Amino acid sequence: MDARDVAEVLARPISRRLLGSSIPARLAYVGLDGAPRVVPMGFRWSGEHVLMATVPGAAKVQALRVRPRVALTVDTQDEWPPRVLQIRGAARVEQVEGIPDSYVEGSRKVIPPAYFEDWERGVRALYERMVVITVEPDWAKLLDFDTTLPKAVEDLLAARR
């Protein structure tokens, strides 16, 4: 998929809504033992990259340094029809001092406001450094079940015609 096609998918109104939503991304990667992993993560969309952060000792940090290819999905949970944004790309990991703004902004989307201040205070007291995970999308698909469907369903519908 070329960069223009990826940008077109990510610019669609439903994609932009999902990327700005409070729904966590589900990040899929391959662990050091070769087994797949999926973890929910707060994220921030920069307009070009998906930004997430974690502690330096997290298992995913070492795994992503070895195998940077990832997939992630952001999908509705209580809406019909479902809306699913799928992204694939390469993850870059970078250790930074302190708490990255992107981590705080991404977390603000998923932590209820009544708890956020205490959460932020605790994080800032606990973490001296973090690792920023930057995913550069090189493939994207939006499944809105109105104009786009999973490929297998598209194929089945075409065969029935």
What's this model's pTM, rounded to 2 decimal places?
Answer: 0.90
Q: What is the pLDDT of residues 14-45, one digit of tens each?
A: 999 999 998 999 999 999 999 999 999 999 99
CA 18, 113, 85 angle in degrees (round to 5)? 10
Which strand ranges, in their side-by-side order, compose the sheet holding 69-75?
36-41, 25-30, 69-75, 84-97, 129-143, 50-54, 44-45
C-alpha pair distances (Å), 31 with each of 28, 48, 89, 125, 142? 10, 26, 16, 29, 26
Q: What is the pLDDT of residues 34-85, one digit of tens each?
A: 999 999 999 999 999 999 999 999 999 999 999 999 999 999 978 899 999 9
Domains and CATH numbers, the chain: 3-160 (2.30.110.10)
What is d(CA 100, CA 76) in angstroms, rounded to the nearest whole number?
27
